[in-house]
Structure 1
Amino acid sequence: MHRALTNIPLFPLSGHVLPGGVMRLRIFEPRYIRMVREVCAQDDGRIGMCMFNEHGSIEANSHIHPIATLARVIDFEHRDDGLLGITVEGMDACQIDAIKSDSDGLRRGNVRIIDHWPPTELPPQFQHLADRLCQVYAEYPELGSCPGDDRLGRADWICQRWLELLPVNAETKQELLREPSCERTLDYLSGLINESEQ
């Protein structure tokens, strides 16, 4: 049975973090500064990192796609530009079942932690996805460093990182994330990477 959680603060973004990923953010809106303070004061405080639906309605709360990522704040800093900088780590895939709004516009949702793609060994014909991902990390060190452990041999982990990095629209990501495994995403990403390198 999938675990249900209530009253999770939601943070819709055009950028995305998935389970196992890390994202750095600059926070300036008062409602989200309040959100960060709230979750940091809790032992197990989590944020629902959501994909923004550009075709949805903010008034009807349909501007938030249902498949999201439960994340925790792992670092924060007060920046020289006056903004609050935070780093979040994606923990679990979840589905948002209900959304309500606080008086300042902060959304909260009831969510269910859902089964995501199972750990999957990277097939040899997709090794170029792992190799190219390490090249991206080397070219853009602000993204982090290429892992030296077994994550590079996992197709599910590699697919998640590419979905975070590539400008794939949220509707497509939602469709791929609903799949029971990462196999379709492997084919999709391989096609994108091959096209970009031709």
Structure 2
Amino acid sequence: MQLALFPLSAHLLPGGVMPLRIFEPRYLRMIAEAQTREFALCMLDPRQPDALRNMYPIATRVRIIDFDRLPDGLLGIKVQGVERLRIRDLWQEGDGLRVCDAQPLPPWQGGRLPQDQRNLAQALREVFSDYPEYAALYHEPAWDDACWVAQRWIEVLPIPAEQKQWLMACEDYRPALRLLSNLLVTSH
């Protein structure tokens, strides 16, 4: 599948919601073409010397769920993650918009959060409480869904991008839950 790319310094996974400010002409075009050519959020890789290819390989296809004109006159959109992708090839169009050929990755299957990992949902609730603007993005948090909890943690956890990419490339969310459980035990 061919998609436009919107590079960021953050990750978004399926089910995740993120507000974006759009102002560069190439990204305004990307939004205008979103009905005919979907786009994906990807993360910049500052270690990559080739400026055209300075992106990590795992991205997330998104859909626009809301848009508005911001007080500063810029276009504000809200996107939701749809599916994880592996970027296979990428190129740049005349206005600088990067486009990729990507392969969808199998979706992680949701499941009930195990009893011994309920503390992960509780800790995430505390993050939501500390950051109400982030919490406001999620009208119906899925606190009992292990996949949803793992994905939100991957998005907000301050770990290196390489580690997030490794977790995003996994076949399911279990490695993320193991890492999170270990981190939570270590921090308390």
Q: Percent identity?
A: 40
Q: Which amino acid aligns with 1:138?
A: S
State the SS of the aligned residue for 1:153: coil
Write the mapping of 1:112-191 to structure 2, written as runs, cut at 5 A.
112-145=103-136, 148=140, 151-191=142-182
TM-aligned CA deviation for residue 157 of structure 1: 1.0
Instruction: Label 1:170 to 1:164 Cα distance change in 2 as closer, same or farther (>3 A).
Output: same
Name the structure 2 match of 1:46: 38
Counterpart selection for 2:70 from 61, 74, 79: 79
**SS of aligned partner of 1:55:** coil
> Does residue 32 of structure 2 align to residue 37 of structure 1?
yes
- 1:9 Cα deviation from its structure 2 partner: 0.5
Match of 1:19 in 2: 14
- Aligned partner (choices 53, 59, 69) of residue 62 of structure 1: 53
Runs of 5+ in structure 2 lacking a partner? none
TM-score w.r.t. structure 2 length?
A: 0.90
CA shift digits 1:26-81 (9 cap, x unpaired): 12222112211221xx1x6521111211111343x321111110001111111111
Q: Secondary structure at the match of 1:85?
A: strand
Task: Give structure 1 regions of 4+ aligned residues with deviation exceeding 6 angstroms.
Answer: none
Aligned pair in 2 of structure 1 residues 68, 172: CA closer, same or farther (>3 Å)? same
Contact 2:53 2:90 in 1 (8 A): no
Give TM-score, length-normalised by structure 1: 0.86
In 1, the alpha carbon distance for the partners of 2:130 and 2:33 equals: 36
Contact 1:48 1:71 in 2 (8 A): yes
Cα 1:157–1:179, aligned 2, differ >3 Å: closer, same or farther? Answer: same
Q: Are the counterparts in 2 of residues 23 and 88 from structure 1 also a CA contact under 8 Å?
A: yes
Superposition RMSD in Å = 1.8
Structure 1 position 158, deviation (Å):
0.4
User: Contact 1:45–1:72 (CA<8 Å) still a contact in 2?
Assistant: no
Task: Tell me the number of residue pairs that the alignment of Structure 1 and Structure 2 aligns.
Answer: 187
